[in-house]
Amino acid sequence: MEFKCKIQEPCTKMSSESNKALKAISSSMKTMTHPTTAKSHIENSKIAIEELKVALEVISLEDVELLAIIPVATVAAILEEITISVEKIYESVSELSNLAHFKSVESNVSPEKPHLLHRGIIKPVVEVDNAPHVEIKIEDLCTNSPEKARKGTTEILQT
């Protein structure tokens, strides 16, 4: 149990920072901008790898069942490989952004979110009450706070 507790924080940090880096890389691809915001997340992931290595050196494996720590150690090793892969993805996207002349984003200004072309779903419906119609569902996304839920409205147009 001590083994798991000691490596949990660095593993969580690696996972979280790799996730943030991938999101930033994805966003930069969508907006065709340089993935500069991903670099800090990758650096944080690399710091977490070093923290994991230090934690592993400090942990005493005396009186520990090998079979109990194998799954935890395996997850830690996989997370380290994922972090390294995310860094390679970042390098590839950075190279692509340079070759394709992506827009530069100033470091003190966050990139704008791309405008969505579609905010709703249009489904043709066969026939209801012997009258053909189309159902349009528009999702209102509340981005002010994560506590607000999605609200859906549906309109039915008779044709």
- Whether 114 is in a domain gets the answer no
81 in the same domain as 124: no
Least confident stretch, 31-35, 129-133, 150-154: 150-154
- Of 99, 129, 149, the one marking the end of a domain is 99
* Closest to 6 measured CA to CA, from 50, 39, 51: 51
Q: Are residues 33 and 103 in contact, defined by beta-carbon separation less than 8 angstroms?
A: yes
pLDDT digits (tens, 9 = 90+) for 92-127: 999 999 999 998 876 554 445 555 555 555 555 555
pTM of this prediction? Answer: 0.63
How many C-beta atoms lie closer than 10 Å to residue 63's C-beta? 6
77 in the same domain as 24: yes
pLDDT for 18: 97
Total domain count for the chain? 2
- Whether 115 is in a domain gets the answer no
pLDDT digits (tens, 9 = 90+) for 61-74: 777 888 888 999 99
pLDDT digits (tens, 9 = 90+) for 16-41: 999 999 999 999 999 999 999 999 99
- What phi-psi label fits residue 29: left (phi over 0), alpha (psi between -120 and 50 degrees) or beta? alpha
Task: Please count the helices (runs of H) and the strands (runs of E) in the chain.
Answer: 3, 3
Write out the residue range of the structural domain in which residue 140 sits.
Answer: 120-158
144 in the same domain as 88: no
pLDDT for 136: 60
9 in the same domain as 86: yes
127 in the same domain as 93: no
pLDDT for 147: 45
36, exposed or middle or buried, with CB in 10 Å at 0-12, 13-18, 19+? Answer: middle
pLDDT at 153 > cutoff 70: no
pLDDT at 84 > cutoff 80: yes
129 in the same domain as 85: no
- Whether 107 is in a domain gets the answer no
- Whether 110 is in a domain gets the answer no
